[in-house]
Structure 1
Amino acid sequence: MLKLFKPVFYVCGLLSLMMAAMLLLPTTLGWFHQDSETHAFLVSAGISFIAGVFLIAAFRPRKFSLGPRQLYLLTCCSWALLSVIGALPLIFGHDHIRFTDAVFESVSGITTTGSTILTGLEYMPHSLLLWRALLQWIGGLGVIGMAVSILPFLHVGGMRLFQTESSDWSDKSLPRLADLARSLFLVYMLITTGCILGYWINGMNLFDAISHALTTVSTGGFATDDRSMGRFGPAILWVSVLFMLLGALPFVMFIRLLTQPSLKVFLDQQVRGFLLIVAVLTLIMTLYLIGQDIYGPFEALTQAAFNIVSVITTTGFASTDYTLWGGFSLAFFFFVTFIGGCSGSTSGGMKVFRFQLSFMFLIRQIKLLVHPRGIFSIRYNGKEVEDDIIFSAVAFSFLFFMVLVFTTMVLALTGLDFVTSITGAATALTNVGPGLGDIIGPAGNFAPLSDTAKWVLSFAMLLGRLELLSIMVLFSGVFWRG
């Protein structure tokens, strides 16, 4: 058993050292502003550093290698570790946030969900606000790396459809993985820098521009004010729309665009499908807002585009309380919650490609009913899709809705009403952020929920972020007997 865990704990040690270094950024900012959280960040950095050194020293393997079972363990252990470390500044901070609330906030940050238990954000120290933004930025980068290298290799939820030469964990492929990691980090930094400049040029102060850029590109949704993005004008909202969309597109596409500049990269079937869905949904909601005389044409387009892109990319920003737009709006945003962005992006949700595969599978089944002896293949991006990829995507979808039902029932048992229970479960599993209703809606907060509900939602956020199967496989006896 130790042989199974040894390289996993070693990598967790490296991640702990990385988090210690990241904690020094808000520590420095806190020292500069002489705010009350500086000591908490310094203590947290020290704990993370000591834990990292211990794990590396105690579990350093003679020959480093990771098999499929260890990758499952690493995926789960690393995200759990980052969540605990992320909670430390909140626990040791001046306000002494309770352990459950601190872990909930940290899990929400590292999974780029954006649900929060904090209020009065505009009065909080800048160091704490920066840390919340950094958690989401780190989580977004981790999501991309996991989606393009680990999950395709593990055949999770149809992800093998996007397997590249770097989605291979054999020794000969490690140099390619290192090159991929550097390229992803470079692209991530470039888009984040562009977002910072876009916000700053259009009127945000530098701190707000940096904080919001970190949570926009990571499609996280943590803001520096309880009003989220509602305090900013149309120009900033449109900048946010642009960079939320960029965050929801496959980052491998941007790498190809840098190495081989060509507009052909935008012909990707998943990208075209995603952008078409966004355009159609925005048009529908814009016409609805104009028809209901809620906004004028331009403001209707701005509010519809911003809030739809925020939900479909699973960012979770809000410019207004869209639940006040009527019953159609409630149903509309509830179903949009499930869609998500593209595979290999920072966004959560079920991902567009699974809807596309399911639709093509449905069409094939209809054709087979008419022509039972016919042979009909499913092609995606010009390549024939193997049946095991279809089966994996269908299994993921079935598991997703089973977990959604179970989580909803558990939340209802804690005393929550049906709307709060089902939208809370949905927003956690899809990593969107706000739910619907008076409690956890766009104008609400997760603080009133019971500790039990917060732990359930924290686990659901991790499940959704790790594509469900990566965690569920650990609960099977065959995994531990393997």
Structure 2
Amino acid sequence: MHFVIFINGAVLIFFGGAMGLDAILFQSTNRIFLLGGLLTAFAGSMLTLAARQSQVQMARLDAFVMTSSVWMTAAVAGGVPLFLWGMTPADAFFEAMSGITTTGSTVMSGLDKTPRGIIFWRAMLQAVGGVGFVVTAIAVMPVLKVGGMQLFRTESSDKGDKEMRNAAMFAAATLRVYLALITLCALLYLAGGMSLFDAITHAMTTLSTGGYSGYDASFGHFQSPFLQWTCTGFILLGALPFAWYIRVVNRRVFRNDQVSAMLWCLAIVILLLTARLIATSHHAPLEALRLVAFNVVSVVTTTGYATADYTGWGPLFVTAFFFLTAVGGCTGSTAGGGKAMRWLLAWRAVVAKVTNLQSKHRVTRIKFQGQAVEEDVLNGVVVFLVFYFATFLMLTIVLALLGLDLETATSGALTALANVGPGVGSLIGPAGNFAALSDAVKTVLAFGMYLGRLEMLTVLVLFTPVFWREYGLHLRPPR
């Protein structure tokens, strides 16, 4: 437990330093960020000093507590300057949780006139949350066996020092790829006519698939087809596995089952919806393709940018975008949602089951990346999907009990759990925001974002008595 406290303290110190950077860069809000940075860094220093003699090695139970607590600590720290700026505690926590989980839902309006220091802070939260989740998903969740993530275990050794070195090497390689893509994206945004500030902040929220924008019209503020196509491409790049990028660079290995499945599915959906939009509207074919491609990719990758109010295109589009919300990007990317790997394995499991029913003596093995998938991985995928929809149902019920209509409650629950951002409907759709909701509803939605980003089971296991009995035994000093 001491090491968990130490890590949380280090997170607070990191965010205190980030606030200090914001204070240096932007004069209009420097007092807010300077005060917030000092308070946050002081609290972090106290925690690290209290646990400074802890050992580096962790047990598996420690990893559950550390992963869950660090993301909550980050959200609280991220909300400090927003609270000092004048937001209510509920709004500040909601905005920060939405940022750090790269959800993109917002309670803020008048973004066009919001101080640049606040806009930059929101973008920074999403940039940190995006790369933080990639490292968590690949370095931590395979050890925790969350949702079939064992597929991405890079080493079979149980030696703590070796695993730590591998995790550090992966984190460093991921950060290099992440920063390179953000830089390239910002340069292309600049070439397309954005200001330097807009290019940097929107590049950070593009690659993190977060979707925070500095404008109320979201990315629709930029009417340039070049910028919108560029954004579509880089959103897609952010939703691909970062381990795949590293493998491509180091080994020139391009094959990846979930990447192929995701790209094919996106292409089919975009073409079908484009044909429908052309048939039912006045949009020219290329314009319809651009609008559909941008918004479909944005929703599937859980980015949440919008260039149009797609809920006004007709019931088919409302239904399609609602279900696309749950899909998500690839496992090991910055995207949220159910993840392409899990949907692909679930589909192959169904096909295998149907095939086996047709022939009693035939045994069909489910494969991923050319290798047979172990039974515990498939069980993890099934359990995750069951919990995913069960959690969605529970969130919907709670939101309905808090006074939301069924459409808003259902859409809000799914968009929070999938970390998408905008929902459907007039209130929280792409043309609205979450400001009108009660503090209780915002808190529930923030918790839904938290659950969705940590794939639910990582958090929900902490609410079981068995976990704490085992953890209590683990904490007892040896005789």
TM class by shorter chain equals: over 0.9
Tell whether 2:57 aligns with 1:75. no
Partner of 2:415: 427
Q: Structure 2 matches for 1:47-446, cutoff 5 A?
A: 47-93=39-85, 96-165=86-155, 170-232=160-222, 233-260=224-251, 262=252, 264-265=253-254, 267-446=255-434
Most deviating of 137-146 and 160-169: 160-169
- Contact persistence 2:428–2:434 (CA under 8 A): yes
- CA drift at 1:369: 1.6
Count of residues in Structure 1 that have an aligned counterpart in Structure 2? 469
- Contact persistence 1:113–1:431 (CA under 8 A): yes
- CA drift at 1:28: 1.3
- CA drift at 1:169: 7.0
Tell whether 2:469 aligns with 1:481. yes
Q: Secondary structure at the match of 2:435?
A: coil
- CA drift at 1:193: 0.3
- Contact persistence 2:110–2:216 (CA under 8 A): yes
Most deviating of 275-284 and 311-320: 275-284
Q: Secondary structure at the match of 2:67?
A: helix
- CA drift at 1:428: 0.2
- CA drift at 1:168: 6.3
- Contact persistence 1:290–1:297 (CA under 8 A): yes
Tell whether 2:19 aligns with 1:19. no
Deviations 1:193-224 (A, max 9, x none): 01100111101111000010000000000000
Q: Secondary structure at the match of 1:69?
A: helix
Task: Report the residue type matching 2:385 in the other structure.
Answer: S
Task: Report the residue type matching 2:12 in the other structure.
Answer: S
Deviations 1:67-118 (A, max 9, x none): 111110011110000000000011111xx11000000000000000000000
State the alpha-carbon separation in 1 of the partners of residues 334 and 311 from structure 2. 26
1:30 corresponds to which of 26, 32, 41: 26
- CA drift at 1:372: 2.5
Partner of 2:4: 8
Partner of 2:473: none
Deviations 1:248-296 (A, max 9, x none): 0000111122223x2x42x200110011111111111110111113411
TM-score computed with the length of structure 1 as normaliser: 0.96
- CA drift at 1:16: 1.3
Change (3 A) 1:62 1:90: closer
State the alpha-carbon separation in 1 of the partners of residues 231 and 179 from structure 2. 16
- Contact persistence 1:26–1:131 (CA under 8 A): yes
Task: Report the residue type matching 1:241 in the other structure.
Answer: T
Structure 1 gap ranges (5+): none
Partner of 2:34: 42
Structure 1 moving runs of 4+ over 4 Å: 166-169
Q: Secondary structure at the match of 1:348?
A: coil
Task: Report the residue type matching 2:241 in the other structure.
Answer: P
- Contact persistence 2:2–2:54 (CA under 8 A): no
- CA drift at 1:172: 2.3
- Contact persistence 1:420–1:439 (CA under 8 A): yes
Q: Secondary structure at the match of 1:229?
A: helix
Change (3 A) 1:169 1:56: farther
Q: Secondary structure at the match of 1:72?
A: helix
Change (3 A) 1:339 1:23: same
Task: Report the residue type matching 1:161 in the other structure.
Answer: L
Task: Report the residue type matching 2:4 in the other structure.
Answer: V
State the alpha-carbon separation in 2 of the partners of residues 429 and 443 from structure 1. 20
Deviations 1:35-54 (A, max 9, x none): 1x221100110011111211
- CA drift at 1:176: 1.8
Deviations 1:268-327 (A, max 9, x none): 001100111111111111101111134110100100100000000000000010000000
- Contact persistence 1:113–1:314 (CA under 8 A): yes
Q: Secondary structure at the match of 1:230?
A: helix
Most deviating of 109-118 and 8-17: 8-17
- CA drift at 1:167: 9.2
- CA drift at 1:387: 1.1
- Contact persistence 1:282–1:308 (CA under 8 A): yes
State the alpha-carbon separation in 2 of the partners of residues 433 and 62 from structure 1. 39
State the alpha-carbon separation in 2 of the partners of residues 173 and 249 from structure 1. 24
Task: Report the residue type matching 2:237 in the other structure.
Answer: L
Q: Secondary structure at the match of 1:464?
A: helix
Task: Report the residue type matching 2:112 in the other structure.
Answer: E
2:448 corresponds to which of 443, 446, 460: 460
Q: Secondary structure at the match of 1:416?
A: coil
Most deviating of 286-295 and 147-156: 286-295
- CA drift at 1:242: 0.8
Change (3 A) 1:168 1:19: farther
TM-score computed with the length of structure 2 as normaliser: 0.96
State the alpha-carbon separation in 2 of the partners of residues 172 and 256 from structure 1. 20
Most deviating of 60-69 and 232-241: 60-69
Task: Report the residue type matching 2:242 in the other structure.
Answer: F
Most deviating of 333-342 and 372-381: 372-381
State the alpha-carbon separation in 1 of the partners of residues 233 and 402 from structure 2. 39
Instruction: Calculate percent identity across the aligned residue pairs.
Output: 42
- Contact persistence 1:27–1:38 (CA under 8 A): yes
